[in-house]
Amino acid sequence: MNGAAAALHLTPSAVSQQLSILQKQVGRRLLTPVGRQVQLTDSGRVLARHAQRILDEEREAWIALEKEQDTVSGDLSVGVLSTIAASLVPQTLEILAARYPNISVSTYELSPEKAVSAVKNNEIDMAFILDYPDTPASIPANLNAEVIAQENHRLVVNSASDSFGEGPISLRDAADLAWVASGTNTEFGAALINACRRAGFDPNIVHYVDEQATAMAMVENNLGVTLVAELALRGFHPKSVRHYPLMDPFVRRVLLLRREVDRPSEAAFAQVAKTAAQQWGL
């Protein structure tokens, strides 16, 4: 019940009320209590299977109506990542509003893992996710992943303790330093570990931080070094840090995940996102 409420942006009591109404409409019990939770009855499972087909048909009908219109329009729900929410996303929405004023967009900040399941389960239309060569994103077979941008990471160090001189530098040059980075429980953290091991060392991660802005703030306070993607550097760049390009580029791709490839409003959003990425120099 709580999961359904979160997915639909409702309160659990509102979900419970709607289910009660639905049970009265069909005249059958759809849920049965199991401890403090509930599970579907046989009738509930039958209705759930048909409901998915009904929702798929409804979506196809809306897409067909979009295609008949002279102007591109539609309501889109898009999952965004915190690392691009302050840079690529606002630029995309600004260009979209100018080019396609009849497209309305709602955004939801989600983790990469939740973003994939949200698109797969029809909770949102599209979502930005990240893809690293060392830890490729796992894309369900029924979803389409379109490359929006590719960006490099840079090594970020405190200016006061910087001894690198001019770049580019090797990751191996930072082998003996303390690191501020994600652990292997994130795709970025796993990719970083693999990249460092290829360079011949295991990074000494002293501070485990997932948000790149937080990591840079810790570097600013001379607590270690970190890797930061280009978009994050442009969104937030403390004055007392320096960043260096790497000899062996550590790259990531920004992907747009969606179910449909022929929905006009989604195709327009994808194209505009690519334009925004180009304007950021990616």
Q: Are 191 and 135 in contact (CB under 8 A)?
A: yes
- Residue 61, pLDDT score: 84
DSSP summary character for residue 27: T
Is there a shared CATH topology between the 1-68 domain and the 72-282 domain?
no
The whole-angstrom separation of Cα 61 and Cα 264 is 13
Indicate the domain borders of the chain.
Answer: 1-68, 72-282
Is the CATH number 1.20.1250.20 carried by domain 1-68? Answer: no
DSSP summary character for residue 173: G
Model pTM? Answer: 0.76
- Residue 272, pLDDT score: 97
- Residue 60, pLDDT score: 82
CATH of domain 72-282: 3.40.190.290
- Residue 236, pLDDT score: 66
- Residue 235, pLDDT score: 64
Q: What is the pLDDT of residues 137-156, one digit of tens each?
A: 888 888 999 999 999 999 99
- Residue 269, pLDDT score: 96
The whole-angstrom separation of Cα 196 and Cα 198 is 5
Q: What is the mean pLDDT of each run of 10 residues along the chain (282 residues)?
A: 82 91 92 88 92 84 81 92 85 96 94 86 90 83 91 90 81 93 87 92 94 89 92 76 90 90 89 94 87
Using only C-alpha atoms, what is the Rg of the chain?
23
Rounded (5°) CA angle 238-232-137: 150
- Residue 227, pLDDT score: 93
Q: Are 252 and 229 in contact (CB under 8 A)?
A: yes
Q: What is the pLDDT of residues 12-34, one digit of tens each?
A: 899 989 999 999 999 999 999 89
HEC-encoded secondary structure of 87-128: CHHHHHHHHHHHHCCCEEEEEEECCHHHHHHHHHCCCCCEEE
- Residue 97, pLDDT score: 96
